């Protein structure tokens, strides 16, 4: 494939873009022609990035506040539409991390984390959605994390990032018919502000250059581009490497109807762990075909009825 990936005429919102990864995402998109809404909870940081972009002949405006506040999310969308006439790209990057042993975590720790990562992404994307539907075009990137595999002492963070992966999959199914492609990205960068909170000294310095935020920004630009046609996927970007995170299911094992007992479950474990011919369901409907003996007609009829009931209630 040839040709520079450009964003001339496109408008993007990047949350949490006053520093670290978000700053690099905003700068990369602006460098390639996008007009960018820069967001951060610290006014000095948001304004500084917007000014930095302007000084490099780019176009950006700062919106200060937390994505946990629906009014702030609404202001970002309104600013994009009123100032620039459109909204094409949303990068849900804002996040926090609270690290404690599980026994010492509080409900407030979980609520705070979910409110930024999950609910912030939910609010902003939901407010941007009608504009993208009207334009029949949109690119939404949820910034996930490999922490959804499980990260010791970071249960709220792991929960929030796994939830974003689920949100990605659900919205991809709804958005694709309207040209709105929703995907997620698990970045690895050790010169980001969040990494600096959990790493220090020589440990951080040793990997800072190898895994930079600027390199991840290249992946964000590709995922945000009109030529990127995937939906419901999760890429992983680290240094000069690009990979894919996927959710699969084995074919498993079955026994005779009525014969499934605790002992049968025990005896089927080896077949459940057999990765031969594993599948990558793209939806719950897809997965239902697997668990219902590949009875596609039955699965489709069930989900057709469910979806028709929702659509008829609107």
Element (H, E) at 54: helix 43-55
**φ, ψ for residue 39, nearest 5 deg:** -130, 140
CB 172 within 8 A of CB 183: yes
CB 109 within 8 A of CB 156: yes
Question: Roughly what angle, to the nearest 10 degrees, separates helices 296-312 and 284-291?
Answer: 150
- Euclidean distance between the first and the last CA atom of the chain, given in angstroms as a whole number: 43
Nearest to 245 by CA among 171, 138, 147: 147
Q: Which residues are catalytic?
A: 157
What's the token pair of residue 134? 């009207």
């Amino acid at each position: 494939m040839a040709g520079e990936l450009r964003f001339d005429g496109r408008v993007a919102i990047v949350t949490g873009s006053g520093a670290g990864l978000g700053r690099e995402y905003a700068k990369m998109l602006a460098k390639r022609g996008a007009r960018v809404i820069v967001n951060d909870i610290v006014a000095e940081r948001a304004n500084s990035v917007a000014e930095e972009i302007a000084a490099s002949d780019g176009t950006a405006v700062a919106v200060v506040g937390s994505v946990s506040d629906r009014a702030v999310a609404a202001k970002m969308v309104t600013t994009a539409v009123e100032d620039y006439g459109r909204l094409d790209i949303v990068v849900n990057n804002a996040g926090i991390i609270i690290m404690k042993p599980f026994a010492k975590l509080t409900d407030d720790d979980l609520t705070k984390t979910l409110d930024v990562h999950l609910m912030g992404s939910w609010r902003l994307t939901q407010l941007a959605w009608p504009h993208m539907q009207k334009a029949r075009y949109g690119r939404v990137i949820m910034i996930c994390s490999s922490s959804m595999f499980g990260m010791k002492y970071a249960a709220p963070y792991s929960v929030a990032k796994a939830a974003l992966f689920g949100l990605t999959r659900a919205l991809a199914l709804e958005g694709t018919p309207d040209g709105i492609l929703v995907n997620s990205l698990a970045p690895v960068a050790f010169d980001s502000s969040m990494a600096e909170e959990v790493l220090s000294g020589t440990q951080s310095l040793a990997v800072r250059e190898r895994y930079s935020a600027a390199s991840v920004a290249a992946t964000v630009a590709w995922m945000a581009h009109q030529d990127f046609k995937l939906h419901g996927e999760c890429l992983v970007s680290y240094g000069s490497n690009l990979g894919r995170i996927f959710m699969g299911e084995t074919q498993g094992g079955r026994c005779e109807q009525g014969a499934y007992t605790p002992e049968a479950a025990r005896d089927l474990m080896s077949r459940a762990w057999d990765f031969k011919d594993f599948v990558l369901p793209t939806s719950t409907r897809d997965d239902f075909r697997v668990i219902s003996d590949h009875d596609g007609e039955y699965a489709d009829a069930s989900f057709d009825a469910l979806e028709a009931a929702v659509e008829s209630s609107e």
